[in-house]
């Protein structure tokens, strides 16, 4: 008999926990009991949709590891429901997960879930936010016990398809961008490669000739171009996701590291800091992750939790930052001003190409550059530290260009809260 994760979630939310959830979400116990199955299936559907790609599955694994969704969260769940501070942490964690799974579709999700369960709009959001960490923790506990990798996670989630289809609101498919829930877990069709099948056979025979002709044309064009034209200097985009400890080999990283508005960072939106300053930051960028960590009283400053800048761009082989990096630096500066007790340690890293000593020197210079820019923004130098680690602590395989690009990064950790 197939494992039913939704059944495990329902079991975790039964008994006294149901009454506590009802009190926290402002609904009756019977109303919560009748909505748990749909809410759990909604969250599971979001996870399945996210894990329909290898990158999405890796993002989920990283979040499970970094946020303690591997069984530890469940041991604190009942206590969090009872206390005011704990319930706020629970709701904040749940809202972050909902944003991670549904992005800019949260309002649409709220309407769909409210219509399906007959709950008030605000109450629907609260219930989904309370249940989301529980679903994630049940999943994380299974991932941890079975030592699942991204492929194993995808298989586990796909095995839940029938359970999710029978319990989730039918209109959830529209929120997820699917025609129907039967498409859950399905990979998008791959683009055709090679020579299209509908090309006549005699043209296929001439295909190598066309390729050679195109290459010759490009070569002639290059040779005859004016000598005054130069190729712009290459740049390195420093874009990674949160990693647990600088020596961890696990990271969830987008394939396209050049676009500031990359889908992997989610939609940009306004965020108000405690001091009233408003930032325009992406849903999954370093800014929101850093703020969430700072505000979470259950997470002390440590040497293991690092966050990676995702929109810093350096000149290749240099410690010079491109102008496009300023927006994120300004955001980090404003966050530090809003939380004056916080101190940061900045770490620089490179790939393994070239001389290790030169790489370490470059990584140190880059970390110091970021630190210097924050000082220019008015942050006291005593609140900051910078260190270059060079080729140490890679987060990806240096054997590939994509992996090397991921390893060229700048991270930071909260050294004091």
Distance CA 299, CA 293 (A): 7
For the chain, what is the domain count? Answer: 2
Which pLDDT value is given to residue 223? Answer: 47
Same-domain check for residues 15 and 126? yes
Same-domain check for residues 176 and 240? no
Tell me if 216 is assigned to some domain: no
Of 118, 151, 183, the one marking the end of a domain is: 183
And the tokens for 83? 């206390």
Q: What is the enclosing helix (H) or strand (E) of 233?
A: none
Same-domain check for residues 264 and 169? no
Distance CA 274, CA 135 (A): 30
Same-domain check for residues 154 and 241? no
Which pLDDT value is given to residue 193? Answer: 36
The pair phi, psi for residue 64, each rounded to 5°, is -60, -45
Distance CA 166, CA 4 (A): 12
Tell me if 54 is assigned to some domain: yes
Same-domain check for residues 251 and 173? no
Same-domain check for residues 179 and 52? yes
Query: How big is the CA angle at 163 (ends 162 and 169), to the nearest 5 degrees?
Result: 100
Which pLDDT value is given to residue 255? Answer: 29
Which pLDDT value is given to residue 380? Answer: 95
Tell me if 209 is assigned to some domain: no
Domain span at 22: 5-183
Tell me if 380 is assigned to some domain: yes
Cβ-count burial of 27 within 10 angstroms (0-12 exposed, 13-18 middle, 19+ buried)? buried
Which pLDDT value is given to residue 137? Answer: 87
Helices (H) and strands (E) in the chain, counts: 17, 9
Residue 301 Cα distances to 108, 343, 412, angstroms: 36, 9, 12
Choose among 320, 323, 301, 299: nearest CA to 311. 323
Same-domain check for residues 268 and 378? yes
Where residue 257 sits, what CATH number does that domain have? 3.30.1330.60
- Which residues are within 8 A (CB) of 349 and not within 5 positions of it... i.e. 6 or more apart? 246, 363, 388, 389, 390, 391, 392, 393, 394, 407, 408, 409, 410, 411
Same-domain check for residues 48 and 169? yes
Tell me if 127 is assigned to some domain: yes
Tell me if 202 is assigned to some domain: no
Same-domain check for residues 10 and 109? yes
Q: Is the dihedral of CA 213, 217, 222, 224 positive or negative?
A: positive
Q: One digit per residue, pLDDT tens: the chain, 417 residues? A: 568 888 888 888 877 788 878 777 677 787 778 888 888 889 999 899 989 888 888 999 988 887 778 766 777 777 777 766 767 888 888 888 899 999 888 888 888 888 887 766 667 788 888 888 889 888 988 888 888 888 889 889 988 888 888 888 888 888 888 877 877 875 443 333 344 444 444 444 555 556 566 656 655 544 444 433 333 344 454 544 333 333 333 233 332 233 333 457 888 888 999 999 999 998 889 999 999 999 998 899 999 899 999 999 888 888 999 888 899 999 999 999 999 999 999 999 999 998 999 999 999 999 999 999 999 999 999 999 999 999 999 888 889 888 888 889 999 999 999
Which pLDDT value is given to residue 189? Answer: 37
And the tokens for 82? 């009872």
Same-domain check for residues 261 and 397? yes
Query: How big is the CA angle at 111 (ends 109 and 113), to the nearest 5 degrees?
Result: 65
Tell me if 217 is assigned to some domain: no
Tell me if 220 is assigned to some domain: no
Same-domain check for residues 54 and 140? yes
Distance CA 6, CA 41 (A): 7
Find how far residue 237's CA is from the centre of its chain.
17
Same-domain check for residues 68 and 163? yes
Of 141, 156, 183, the one marking the end of a domain is: 183
């Amino acid at each position: 008999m197939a494992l039913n994760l939704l059944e495990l979630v329902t079991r975790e939310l039964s008994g006294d926990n149901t009454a506590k959830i009802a009190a926290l979400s402002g609904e009756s116990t019977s109303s919560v009991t009748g909505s748990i199955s749909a809410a759990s299936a909604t969250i599971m559907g979001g996870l399945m949709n996210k894990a329909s790609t290898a990158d999405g599955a890796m993002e989920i694994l990283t979040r499970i590891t970094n946020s303690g969704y591997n069984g530890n969260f469940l041991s604190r769940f009942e206590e969090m429901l009872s206390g005011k501070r704990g319930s706020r942490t629970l709701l904040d964690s749940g809202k972050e997960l909902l944003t991670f799974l549904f992005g800019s579709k949260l309002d649409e999700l709220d309407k769909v879930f409210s219509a399906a369960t007959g709950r008030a709009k605000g109450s629907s959001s609260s219930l989904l936010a309370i249940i989301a960490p529980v679903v994630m923790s049940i999943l994380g506990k299974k991932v941890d016990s079975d030592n699942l990798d991204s492929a194993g996670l995808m298989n586990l989630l796909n095995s839940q398809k029938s359970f999710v289809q029978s319990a989730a609101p039918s209109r959830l498919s529209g929120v997820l961008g699917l025609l129907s829930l039967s498409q859950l877990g399905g990979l998008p069709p791959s683009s055709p490669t090679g020579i299209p099948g509908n090309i006549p056979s005699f043209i296929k025979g001439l295909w190598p000739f066309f390729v050679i002709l195109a290459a010759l044309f490009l070569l002639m064009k290059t040779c005859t171009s004016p000598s005054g034209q130069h190729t712009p200097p290459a740049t390195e985009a420093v874009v990674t996701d949160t990693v647990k400890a600088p020596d961890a080999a696990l990271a969830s990283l987008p394939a396209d590291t050049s676009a500031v508005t990359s889908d992997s960072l989610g939609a940009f939106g306004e965020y108000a800091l405690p001091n009233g300053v408003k930032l325009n930051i992406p849903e999954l960028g370093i800014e929101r992750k850093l703020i969430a960590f700072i505000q979470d009283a259950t997470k002390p400053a440590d040497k293991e939790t690092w966050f990676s800048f995702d929109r810093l761009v350096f000149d290749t082989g240099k410690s010079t930052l491109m102008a496009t990096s300023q927006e994120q630096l300004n955001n980090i500066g404003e966050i530090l001003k809003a939380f004056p007790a916080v101190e940061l340690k900045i770490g620089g890293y490179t790939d393994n190409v070239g001389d290790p000593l030169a790489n370490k020197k470059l990584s140190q210079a880059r970390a110091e550059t970021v630190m210097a820019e924050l000082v220019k923004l008015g942050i006291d130098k005593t609140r900051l530290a910078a260190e270059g680690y060079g080729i140490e602590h890679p987060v990806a395989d240096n054997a590939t260009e994509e992996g090397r690009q991921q390893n060229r990064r700048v991270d930071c950790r909260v050294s004091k809260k």
